[in-house]
């Protein structure tokens, strides 16, 4: 799930590029583990900074147009280039496994239940 350019531009300018982990919620649905990439994705030679969320969950249908709420909990590694698509895919899989391990820690697991994810119907809060 990629954030729009407008959302990317609203991120703090001093946030380091790289791979993060945390929690994500689509609309008023369940909260799932996620991995987040912030940067230029050098393998694809992007010229614009992007923020891409990989929700560690299989959805039954697309969720285009839904509100995606995320909470970034921790940092995995800096952004880097890869020699091949296979190396990139391997690194992504390692990032997902690290995120799963970290988010299973009690101090991170409790944040899944934060009120941030349980807003009254129709309310949008930006933090």
Cα–Cα dist 79/25, whole Å: 24
Q: Say how many Å lie between the first and final Cα of the chain, rounded.
A: 19
Q: Are 90 and 83 contacting, i.e. CB atoms less than 8 angstroms apart?
A: no
34 vs 20: CA distance, rounded Å: 8
Query: Does residue 52 carry a catalytic annotation?
Result: yes
5, 9, 52, 66: which one is catalytic? Answer: 52
Query: How many angstroms separate the CA atoms of 42 and 26, rounded?
Result: 28
Q: Which of the residues are catalytic?
A: 52
């Amino acid at each position: 799930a990629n954030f729009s350019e407008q959302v990317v531009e609203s991120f703090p300018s001093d946030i380091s590029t790289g791979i993060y982990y945390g929690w994500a919620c689509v609309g008023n649905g369940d909260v799932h583990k996620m991995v987040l990439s912030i940067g230029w994705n050098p393998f694809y030679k992007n010229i614009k900074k992007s923020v891409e969320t990989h929700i560690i969950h299989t959805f039954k249908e697309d969720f285009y147009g839904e509100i995606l709420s995320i909470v970034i909990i921790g940092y995995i590694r800096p952004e880097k280039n890869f020699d091949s698509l296979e190396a990139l895919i391997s690194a992504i899989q390692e990032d997902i496994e690290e995120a799963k391990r970290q988010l299973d820690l009690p101090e991170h697991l409790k944040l899944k239940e934060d009120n941030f994810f349980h807003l009254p119907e129709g309310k949008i809060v930006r933090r």
